[in-house]
Structure 1
Amino acid sequence: MYKWIIIGGGVQGCCVATRLLLEKVNKADLLIIDSYPEPMQIWRTLTKKIGMSYLRSPSVHHIAIDPFSLKKYARSNDYAQPFKGRYARPRLDMFNQHSLDKMDEVGVQECWKQGTVEGLSCSGGEWKVTLSNNQVIQGERVVLAMGMNQKPHYPDWVFKCSKGSISHVFDIEASLPDEGDVVILGGGMTAAHLSYTLSTIHSVTLVKRHPFRIHDFDSDPGWLGPKYLRNFHQVDCYEKRRRLIRQARHRGSLTRELYLKLKRQENAGRLNFYTGEIEDAQSRDNSVELLLTNGKIISAHSLLLATGTETNIPGEKWLQPVIEQLDLPCSPCGFPIVQPSLEWTRGLFVAGTLAELEIGPVSRNIAGARKVAERIAQNA
């Protein structure tokens, strides 16, 4: 039986695992379960797919404990242009290699098990995780670190179109179009990165529901510390906490630097922008045709959706029965109400999206992963 089982091997799960292995537990006593064979595989696949070169987050946000670890790593490995801008945003390839090296130092890969979780139960103080192959793994403590990117959001009108010409960027198995003109639907960082990347080789049209929203980060940096979190934690009503989180997030926003890159492509005639809602969509022989509410018709060989993820709780299919059986406390939005230690019930901890009613708006991102890892390690 393991002392710790972490379900989910993305940035969140790997950050928690790295911290626990450094401070609390031996490799033989920790297991990470993920659907993919390598750590942070969805993150690395998707960021490469959209052509991201620098992260949005600053240099102090990464999976190591020392906040200056990435800057030291850049110097010791002699990276060219390792950081960009006033917030020292790191190169993606450097961030990824730093993460892999830090995980290698503590042996994360040696604790890895590829598998799909289909059940979770607790009996006699022991947790049992059931996999799709019916294997049952026992542990004293479980960390739920499942991400949201495995559940892409598809607008309703998509389902009456032929899927051959439509794909979602968060579909990890789908490849990008290699010919023809492309329409990208979305207005945030993912859509912007993808639009810039593809506009260097294709004719690209970006369709968004709203004007560009320019923000350095996906929420105000005040949410990283007591400036906003002090008042947030004094709120006892979890419906109000959810409203505060929604208000704090700059959904569908992008950095000014990326916005200027898009404008340069537009001025060069490689990228077009349209703002409006989709009223209808039709599949043609080898193309898709979109009708906007303003009457504009846009057609292309391929439609790429960058419309985010579903808002359901991660792992809902197998997690909901656990919530009901153990009467786990949830807010009206369905998300966990947890202790400051991030313990939902005895021996069951949450990370990432599932921890946001305690960690706040940054819970889903790298800064949130660091906060989660620190809290769980302190209370282990």
Structure 2
Amino acid sequence: MITATRLEAATAAVAVLSNRPEVTDWALRYFGPWWKARAVEAESAGSCAVVVANVQESGYEEITLRVRDGQQVDAVTYARHPLLVARDGRDIIATSPDEGVAYRCTPSTGRVVLVGADARPLALAAARLARESVRGQLLSAGWAVLHASAVVRADDDAALLTFGGKGAGKTTTALLLASQGWRLLANDRVLVRPVGERGVEVVPWPAAAAVGLGLLHALGWDVAAREYLGMGGRFHPTQHESVTRALLSGRHIPLWSDGGKERKVQIFPDQFPELFKVPLATGGEAAGLLFPRVNAFEMPEIVDGARTLGAEDFMAGATEDRYPDVFGLAHGVDGGGLESARAEVAARLAGLPRHAVRLSHDSAANAALLGKVAGMI
């Protein structure tokens, strides 16, 4: 039996089809209300871009052999896994030996077929490709992708965007405001486009949110997380087992990999309202910008440093290094959007209220400051 999940974001749509319900159920959960995910009849899914992901070991072996026998085989890193890519007529074919997933994509139609022996990696890969298909459609239609977190005010859909590099405090800012009644729209990136004379529409980019153990504890969410795990619940599979053990034992001291990267709790989008009572927003209009930076030894306050946006604030070029467009789903558009779209978005956002803030490791003081600043938007 073939099952299907349809995703819609703004004017873009894609359907995920599979011979295993685990694959389409994953897409339904992962994209949820953010991208209007819903189960549909497979027969009605052909009116949009389609990602077909079937558990079929023989199909995986067949495509893998064709890739390896190709006249030109390129090796790239895709979603942190080695991927071998070749051409087969008008199709792009690829294989990911680590994941046990093979791909056949026809860029002219937007149809992607994935095959593998195991439903779990197939479900993750299908969700990635579905999301890339939506992004490609929206980029071609004049949208751009910002490297920002976002929350939306409940009463008027005003969106507050937070910018900065890794460790600047984007996720901290979004979650602290969400704990004060703002709706969470994104923790790391958003899709945006100019609307009307000066507006900028904002829609979510669904992804698991990485939240440090210390922040989870400061928000008071670690108790709910521990109870959830104790009842057999699970967070996103990218979460390291050491983080799960720490949650179960009540420890909230940050954990670090051998490479010096913090290991964090990996939260599904639907777990924010389910576990932590944080409502999700499905869209909004940009109303203000925040530029946080963290200094553990000084009190939180508004500081100098608000700025206009630059190339580093868009998920473009080197900034977007995890998902190169190996399947041609972006139709030649840079991952951050058309240059004209990025320039127009940056110009419009430059006219909005903006504040630079210094945050500390005192979450209560941070929350008080952010609540004050948000009230000025």
TM range, smaller chain: under 0.3
Structure having the larger proportion of residues in strand = 2
State TM-score, norm by structure 1: 0.27
The structure, 1 or 2, with the larger RCO (C-alpha pairs under 8 Å, 6+ apart) is: 1
Compare the two structures and name the one with the higher helix fraction.
Answer: 1
Provide the TM-score with structure 2 as the length reference. 0.28
